[in-house]
Amino acid sequence: SQPQPSTRHITLIGAGLAGAVLATLLAQRGWEVEVFEKRGDPRIKGYEGGRSINLALAERGRHALHLAGADEAVMAHAVMMRGRMVHFLDGRTDLQRYGRDDSEVISSVHRGELNVILLDIAERAGAKLHFNRGLSSVDFNSRSATFIDPRDSSTHEATFVSLVGADGAGSALRGALSTETELGERTEFLGHSYKELEIPPTADGGFSIEPNALHIWPRGRYMCIALPNDGRTFTVTLFLPNEGDPSFATVRTGAEARALFERDFADAVPLIPNLERDFERNPAGLLATLYLDRWHLDDRAVLVGDAAHAMVPFHGQGMNCAFEDCVALAEHLDREPDRAAAFAAFQAERLPNARAIQAMALENYLEMRDRVDDEDYLLQRALERKLGERHPDRFMPRYSMVTFHRLPYATAFERGRMQRELLVELTRGHASLDTLDWSMVDAAVRERLSPLPAS
Ligand code: FAD
């Protein structure tokens, strides 16, 4: 039967990370939620791909999981990461803490496990999940959507009051919307791609390198990272340009990958026994930023998460931002009975913040691959830490604002810009913090940075 516009019925496209969290938050508030997901139920089939792909979960994401009642179940599988473990070319390593102490850390979570936990919680909250239903087209006039079952190509219709696109970076709903209205869509490719490899456990079943860190091998134009999994493995991600040398154009075979690793990531080579196999088997993923000027069509459809604002992964915030979107959308829908107004208010709140984290994620790539071993950068970071201690009410490292707090991303971006200018000015001509005039430094902080808003 056709859902009536007056009922609190809502149709979500995609039961990935954002779709499952939003379904839970809305079902908990008494909404009648139906979710259509292209893939099969991962709880029956096992997570597709089967590889250990993990994600860094931070405060914004944890807050949403807490509201959805999922935080405890997710954290039971998480591995704490205290900071970046930088692996230098000569084999030395250095742990750069992310926060002040172990209250300011991030967590590595397994994407498949996370999805399974969230689907269970969504279903328990009352959301109706339909798997093997890939959105293929939408008739916005009759409010009817067509889905294809990938197993037998059969088609299925469903009517809707409103559609929410939580169907990821390649969103089919976004495609359907763009034939109906001008979204102002632009995709900027980074010109770099990534490939995943695996570090297995040691022979006695332990972690083969420090588990409580995000490992980075920064090498200028390219880098490797590794995040721990609770199964004692690490997922390694190699980021390389698409062109030039080395790049995915020059490193094509397993043997070429081994040669690159032996030259540039030598201490990682003995840790990745199946380097050639992983490299040849796993696809290279493209990296891009997706910008839209509009996220909704009156009361009929709205986009969230990667469908609205996919970003490069270098701040580890795509999922965290998607979860924050879910909380915001559920709150707007609760507060504002006129759905078109609720969607517009959601977009007005979230779009500038999505732009800010997209920009910070791009900047972080440069920082991770090229600056974490640079003298000026290390001095600025040392001063940043000191100023954070001396002026906790005014100065907070940008990474902390983004990762350990819930200040709007746009505020973190703007304050981060002012703070960086200050750090560059104050350290100019100095080789260590010992030669700084602290009364002048303190006066500059008080003059240039207003007290931080509460978050
Ligand atoms: P997705 O998780 O992509 O979910 C979309 C869902 O929609 C899927 O289940 C899909 O099957 C389904 N779907 C697709 N098409 C259709 C259709 N036509 N009909 C129905 N269903 C459909 N973020 C972090 O916060 N921390 C990290 O450390 C991090 N690391 C990352 C590393 C890499 C290499 C990459 C690429 C991304 C990383 N991200 C990270 C970003 C994060 O993966 C995304 O931001 C997040 O998955 C977005 O969630 P989503 O629900 O919007 O989309």
pLDDT for residue 52 is more than 70: no
Q: Whose CA is nearest to atom 35 of ligand 1?
A: 313
Give mean pLDDT, residues 176-198. Answer: 97
**Is residue 166 lining ligand 1, measured as CB closer than 6 Å?**
yes
**Is residue 168 lining ligand 1, measured as CB closer than 6 Å?**
yes
**Is residue 196 lining ligand 1, measured as CB closer than 6 Å?**
no
pLDDT for residue 369 is more than 90: no
- How much is the pLDDT for 243? 97
**Is residue 13 lining ligand 1, measured as CB closer than 6 Å?**
yes
**Is residue 246 lining ligand 1, measured as CB closer than 6 Å?**
no
Give mean pLDDT, residues 394-399. Answer: 95
Q: Could you report the per-residue pLDDT of 190-206, keeping only the tens digit for each?
A: 999 999 999 999 999 99
373 Cα distance to chain centroid: 24
Beta-bridge partner residues of 363: none
**Is residue 320 lining ligand 1, measured as CB closer than 6 Å?**
yes
Amino acid letter, 385: R
Q: Which two tokens stand for residue 306?
A: 């990667």
**Is residue 402 lining ligand 1, measured as CB closer than 6 Å?**
no
**Is residue 386 lining ligand 1, measured as CB closer than 6 Å?**
no
The domain ranges of the chain are 9-78+109-186+288-362, 188-287, 374-448
Cα–ligand 1 centroid distance for 306 (angstroms): 6
Please give the mean pLDDT across all residues of the chain. Answer: 95
Relative to the CA of 171, which ligand 1 atom is closest?
Answer: 15
pLDDT for residue 1 is more than 60: no
pLDDT for residue 452 is more than 60: yes
Q: Which two tokens stand for residue 271?
A: 């840790």
Q: Could you report the per-residue pLDDT of 202-215, keeping only the tens digit for each?
A: 999 999 999 999 99
- How much is the pLDDT for 454? 78
Relative to the CA of 108, which ligand 1 atom is closest?
Answer: 28
Beta-bridge partner residues of 94: 86
Relative to the CA of 36, which ligand 1 atom is closest?
Answer: 20
- How much is the pLDDT for 258? 98
Give mean pLDDT, residues 411-416. Answer: 97
Q: Whose CA is nearest to atom 32 of ligand 1?
A: 313
Of 11, 12, 17, 163, best ligand 1 pocket probe by most atoms within 8 Å of the beta carbon: 17
Q: Could you report the per-residue pLDDT of 110-123, keeping only the tens digit for each?
A: 999 999 999 999 99
**Is residue 12 lining ligand 1, measured as CB closer than 6 Å?**
no
- How much is the pLDDT for 374? 78
ipTM of the complex: 0.99
The pair phi, psi for residue 138, each rounded to 5°, is: -135, 135
Tell me the whole-structure pTM to 2 decimals: 0.96
Relative to the CA of 307, which ligand 1 atom is closest?
Answer: 52
More confident residue, 7 or 4: 7
Q: Whose CA is nearest to atom 19 of ligand 1?
A: 134
Secondary structure of the chain as H, E, C letters? CCCCCCCCEEEEECCCHHHHHHHHHHHHCCCEEEEECCCCCHHHHCCCCCCCCEEEECHHHHHHHHHHCCHHHHHCCCEEECEEEEECCCCCEEEEECCCCCCCCEEEEEHHHHHHHHHHHHHHHCCEEECCCEEEEEECCCCEEEEECCCCCCEEEEECCCEEECCCCCCHHHHHHHCCCCCCCEEEEEEEEEEEEEECCCCCCCCCCCCCCEEEEECCCCEEEEEECCCCCEEEEEEEECCCCCCCCCCCCHHHHHHHHHHHCHHHHHHCCCHHHHHHHCCCEEEEEEECCCCEECCCEEECCHHHHCCCHHHCCHHHHHHHHHHHHHHHHHHCCCHHHHHHHHHHHHHHHHHHHHHHHHHHHHHHHHHCCCHHHHHHHHHHHHHHHHCCCCCCCHHHHHHCCCCCHHHHHHHHHHHHHHHHHHHCCCCCHHHCCHHHHHHHHHHHCCCCCCC
Cα–ligand 1 centroid distance for 422 (angstroms): 36
pLDDT for residue 5 is more than 70: no
Q: Could you report the per-residue pLDDT of 73-95, keeping only the tens digit for each?
A: 999 999 999 999 999 999 999 99
Percentage with pLDDT > 70 across the chain = 96
pLDDT for residue 348 is more than 80: yes
Give mean pLDDT, residues 397-426. Answer: 96
Cβ count within 10 A of residue 142:
10
- How much is the pLDDT for 383? 96
CATH level 3 topology of 9-78+109-186+288-362: FAD/NAD(P)-binding domain (3.50.50)
Cα–ligand 1 centroid distance for 222 (angstroms): 23
Relative to the CA of 196, which ligand 1 atom is closest?
Answer: 34
How far is the C-alpha of 422 from the C-alpha of 401, rounded, in Å?
A: 17
**Is residue 194 lining ligand 1, measured as CB closer than 6 Å?**
yes
How far is the C-alpha of 325 from the C-alpha of 428, rounded, in Å?
A: 40
CA distances from residue 104 to 49, 264, 323, 407 in whole angstroms, order as listed: 32, 31, 19, 15
**Is residue 17 lining ligand 1, measured as CB closer than 6 Å?**
yes
pLDDT for residue 45 is more than 80: no
Find out whether 395 and 446 touch, Cβ atoms under 8 Å: no
Cα–ligand 1 centroid distance for 16 (angstroms): 6
Cα–ligand 1 centroid distance for 129 (angstroms): 18
Q: Whose CA is nearest to atom 38 of ligand 1?
A: 313
**Is residue 119 lining ligand 1, measured as CB closer than 6 Å?**
no
Beta pairing, strands 223-228 & 301-303: unpaired
- How much is the pLDDT for 361? 97
Cα–ligand 1 centroid distance for 443 (angstroms): 45
Residue 165's nearest CA partner among 61, 28, 305, 298 is 305
pLDDT for residue 320 is more than 90: yes
The pair phi, psi for residue 58, each rounded to 5°, is: -125, -170
**Is residue 118 lining ligand 1, measured as CB closer than 6 Å?**
no
Give mean pLDDT, residues 169-180. Answer: 98
Q: Whose CA is nearest to atom 31 of ligand 1?
A: 313
Band of pLDDT at residue 455, cut at 50, 70 and 90: low
- How much is the pLDDT for 49? 53
